[in-house]
Structure 1
Amino acid sequence: MFSLCCFRLSLFALSLSLFLSLSVPARACTGLRVIAEDGSVAFARSLEFGSPTKSDIMIAPRGMAWSATAPDGKEGLKWKSKYAFMGPDAFGQASPLEGMNEKGLYAAGFWMPAGESEFPKIAKEDYGRAVSQMDLGTWLLCNCATIDEVRKLVPALKLAGAKVPSLNMYTLVHWYVMDATGKAVVIESMGGKVAVTDNPVGVFTNAPSFGWHLENLRNYVSLRPDNAQPFKLGDYTVKPLGEGSGLLGLPGDQTPPSRFVRAAFYANTALKPADADGAVNLGMNLIANFTIPRGLSRGAGPNNRPEYDYTQWTTVYDLSRKELYFRTYENQDYSRVRLSAVPLDGDKPVFIPMWGVKPAYKDVSAQAKPQ
């Protein structure tokens, strides 16, 4: 039986610590939900990072053995996966950054900077129930089918912070979790307490906390998808400057609060598609608004070397049909993976190339003809 044993996530944390020490952390991830008229659900997400994640699609079968990391690099909770799942890995490690399981549950971590998250103190006698912040998404995908199960099972875990040695800090995340009905929650560890909170708008970004983002929507209470009407200022009639005037003032920068506001309005005001095909298509169109080309978000790495936070890949999950669509920065053509068409039983994961795949542009030159 293949097992990602107790040192698996220690190795992951070590490789991640080296990666983060050489790059700008991912602070620009955006996710949004689409629900069709027939109840079909899709979720689209962009992943930004300052250096290559070299992700591939990882397919983890049911029955696979896993082990979590407790504080101080000790061994944490062990389990075998109840459900198979798929999603992108990173840094050559068999550990997903996000994913969807065979029941249509989606789970993803979104970066939170230092100072935003604080994990509970875990007693040594509870290390056997400890799940580090780097393990939680995997544990959810392995064990939960619905949001009701997430709410029931998460409080029994001992959520722990795993320290990154080279940075002398914790890699901090908060989580978006959604099931095939579209019901969504956010899991955050703030002030040493873990909270599972309903997500009524179905979108997610990074810092600050989710409650802050919801409260911030009050600053945009006047925004509407409908065009503004002309109005009088004294004897002068002020007319809108064309289409989209109802959303005048919608923030357009790349900060997490601005992206959250934009995603909330886009995802919840776009016309509802009819079915799953329409939900996937709308998800693709909506998430395209959040792509960040290299060079638009800049930072400095070691020796003041320029680093660029950019959209390395984009995913769209069809939670109803258990399908995943993905594209990368180098290949803008979407590819599809059907969970029903890959191995779902076994003792080790399989992988589908995602990184470094060049686009195969369809040549339609021969179709030229008179109308």
Structure 2
Amino acid sequence: MCTSITLKTKNNQHLLARTMDFSFELEPEMAMMPRHYPMNFHFMEQPLADHYAILGLSKKLNTHFMADGVNEKGLSGATLYFEDYAHYISQDDIDENKIQLGPIEFLMYVLATCETIENIIELEKNVQIVDLFVDFIQRTPPLHWVFVDQSGRSIIIEPRTDGLRIFENNLGILANSPDYEWHLTNIRNYINLSQSSYGPKTIYGQEFKPFGQGSGTFGLPGDLTPPSRFVRALYSKLSTKLPDNPTDLVIAASHVLNSVDIPKGSVVTQRGTLDYTQYTSYLSLSDLAYYYRLYNSFEIVKCTFDYDRIDEDEIILY
């Protein structure tokens, strides 16, 4: 479970933000992967040791992985769960003429090698997402991805039965299952929502007034399912005034994502674990900064690239 949004300032400075909702304790570390840090990918014989630097919260498994991040060229991306809908290539059906990547590796490879959305679209033609078991969660994770570049263009990539599908992320919203096309159809159920409150209405000579302000939001879903979080995030984004600068942009995005934040105890999985918002991240493309807030803190922390160490070959933990 996760929700992501894109947002921009009045002068078109862009940001990708997301909630990281998960039922396995991540305990992430803030990290920068310098340009010559050897990035290991399961299906590649040699590590990728010459790439763009990447900034983000990292989880150490057999190697460091990021579920979202921004690279030095201002390309940002996030990984979200896609339960029951993600479909990968079997390891028995690999095309040796293409690049093979595990689901949790795809985001990392894109940020390491691409500068723009166009670069990703070209890369996608030569990539296979291959079924790859992850010990940490004892399964192959079902995922889809959202990316934004400095121009503000954003795409969603979903691994479906007919291959990788790319959608222009014009709404700037992504949640979890069902697929993106389903969410677009579902929006038609909520086109009555309005920032404006209803006026009084007279019925058979009797005047009725709404209870205070906010009557235009009547019917806005309040549950924590992906379809409801998608709609709620979209409404909050649409009704948010465009900020003036990157700092106010992060603040605006935090208020939008507060509407889909999952407190501990609100969602219990069938395994008996708590699915909650472990962190919220804000990837600012204008100042190449990674902001984040952990569950146990109201403080938003800002991290930037350490350009004095950007050419090193060991991961840098902040």
TM-score, normalising length from structure 2?
0.92
**Any conservation in 1 of the 2:98–2:127 contact (CA below 8 Å)?**
no
Shift of 1:107: 1.0
What code does the residue aligned with 2:31 have?
A: M
171, 188, 212: which is aligned to 1:201? Answer: 171
Work out which of the two has the higher radius of gyration on C-alpha atoms and give 1 or 2.
1
Aligned partners of 2:199 and 2:6: how far apart in 1? 30
Is residue 323–residue 338 contact of structure 1 (8 Å, CA) maintained in 2? yes
Deviations 1:210-263 (A, max 9, x none): 111111111101111121222233323232221211111110111010000011
Structure 1: how far apart are the matches of 2:176 and 2:21?
11
Structure 1 gaps of 5+ residues are: 1-26, 353-371
Give 2:311's aligned residue.
Answer: 345
- Structure 2 counterpart of 1:212: 182
Evaluate the alpha carbon distance shift between residue 125 and residue 318 of structure 1 in structure 2; reply closer, same or farther with a 3 A threshold.
closer
Q: 2: distance between equivalents of 1:96 and 1:168?
A: 18
Q: Which amino acid aligns with 1:52?
A: E
Counterpart in the other structure of 1:356:
none
Instruction: Report what 1:88 is aligned to.
Output: 57
Cα distance, 1:300–1:233 mapped onto 2, change above 3 Å: same
| Among 53, 62, 86, the residue aligned to 1:117 | 86
After TM superposition, the structure 1 = structure 2 runs for residues 146-165 of structure 1, keeping only pairs within 5 Å, are 146-164=116-134
Separation in 1, partners of 2:262, 2:291: 19
Map of 1:279 onto structure 2: 249
**RMSD value over aligned CA atoms?**
2.2
1:246 matched to 2:216: yes
Q: Cα offset for 1:133?
A: 1.0
Give the alignment partner of residue 314 of structure 1, picking from 280, 283, 307. 280
Contact 2:98 2:126 in 1 (8 A): no
State how far apart, in whole Å, the 1-side matches of 2:295 and 2:118 are: 36
- Is the Cα contact below 8 Å between 1:100 and 1:106 reproduced in 2? yes
What are the superposed Cα offsets for residues 112-132 of structure 1, whole Å, 9 maximum, x if unpaired?
A: 21x311123464451862111
The aligned counterpart of 2:100 is 130
Q: In 2 relative to 1, CA 190–334 (structure 1 residues): closer, same or farther, beyond 3 Å?
A: same
The 1:320–1:333 alpha-carbon spacing in structure 2 relative to 1, beyond 3 Å, is same
Q: Which position in structure 2 is the counterpart of 1:229?
A: 199
Aligned counterparts of 2:80 and 2:46: Cα–Cα separation in 1: 22
Q: Where in structure 2 are the equivalents of 1:46-195 lying within 5 Å? A: 46-70=19-43, 75=44, 79-92=48-61, 93-113=63-83, 115-121=84-90, 123-124=93-94, 126=96, 129-164=99-134, 169-195=139-165
Is the 1:121–1:192 Cα contact (8 Å) retained in structure 2? no
1:40 paired residue among 6, 10, 13: 13
The percentage of aligned residue pairs carrying the same residue is: 25
Q: Could you tell me whether the CA contact under 8 Å between 1:226 and 1:244 is conserved in 2? A: yes
- Which sections of structure 2, spanning at least 5 residues, go unmatched? none
Number of matched residues?
A: 316
For 2:38, the aligned partner's letter is A
Identify, as 1 or 2, the structure richer in helix: 1
1:346 shift after superposition:
1.5
What is the rounded CA distance, in whole Å, between the counterparts of 2:237 and 2:73 in structure 1? 23
Q: Deviations over 1:139-164 (max 9, x none)?
A: 11101111111112211112212135
Distance change >3 Å, CA 167–CA 274, structure 1 → 2: closer
